[in-house]
Amino acid sequence: MSPHRLDSTGTDSSMLTKPDFERLSHFRYQLNRFLRDSESFCRRHGLTPLQYQLLLHLRGFEGREWASVGELAERLQAKHHGTVMLIDRCEELGLVERRPDRRDRRRIEVHLLTKGTRLVEAIAELHQPELRHLQAEFRLPGWPDLS
């Protein structure tokens, strides 16, 4: 009898079928294509992919026009000090600015500046055809129709 291997959820991985692996492979391929294209768009606009992601998370933060350093670190899945360094660089480029929170002066808000808004909107626009492709490719429920 062959040993059973459990995945991270405790499921017997021997239950996976060839189509399961094909779907996962296809998904990773499409994801890598999207990320490669995204990196190219960013570089053409003079940004690194991480700088663009920071701007994107600021522009797309739900319910308000700013985010805290901790919230940005979470969205970027990065360490706090790395996020601070990224914000420093974006601030030097005139893309964002820090402001003290009006209610809690210990907390810092990170806001997009006009230059950052223009860049993130231009790059996000370039992503729309690929997002439409991915939506059709995966027919993801709950995603808005981008066509």
Instruction: Give me the domains of the chain, ranges plus CATH numbers.
Output: 23-137 (1.10.10.10)
| Residue 83 CB-density burial (10 A; 0-12 exposed, 13-18 middle, 19+ buried) | buried
Q: What is the mean pLDDT of the chain?
A: 89
Ramachandran angles phi, psi of 137, nearest 5°: -60, -45
DSSP for 5-46, written as a single string: -B-TTS-BGGG--HHHHHHHHHHHHHHHHHHHHHHHHHHHTT
Q: Does residue 99 carry a pLDDT above 50?
A: yes
pLDDT tens for residues 36-88?
A: 999 999 999 999 999 999 999 999 999 999 999 999 999 999 999 999 999 99
pLDDT above 60: residue 1: no
pTM of structure: 0.81
Q: What average pLDDT does this structure show over 130-147? A: 73
Does residue 90 register a pLDDT over 90? yes
pLDDT band for position 145 (cuts 50, 70, 90): low
* Pairwise CA distance, residues 110 & 97, whole Å: 6
Tens digit of each residue's pLDDT (9 = 90 or more) over 106-126:
889 999 999 999 999 999 999
Closest CA to 123 of 65, 52, 74: 52
Task: Give per-residue burial for 113-139: e unless 16+ CB within 10 Å, then b.
Answer: beebbebbeebbeebeebeeebeeeee
* pLDDT of the residue at 52: 98
pLDDT level of residue 146 (50, 70, 90 thresholds): low
CB 28 within 8 A of CB 117: no
Split at pLDDT 50, 70, 90, the class of 144 is low
pLDDT given at position 22: 87
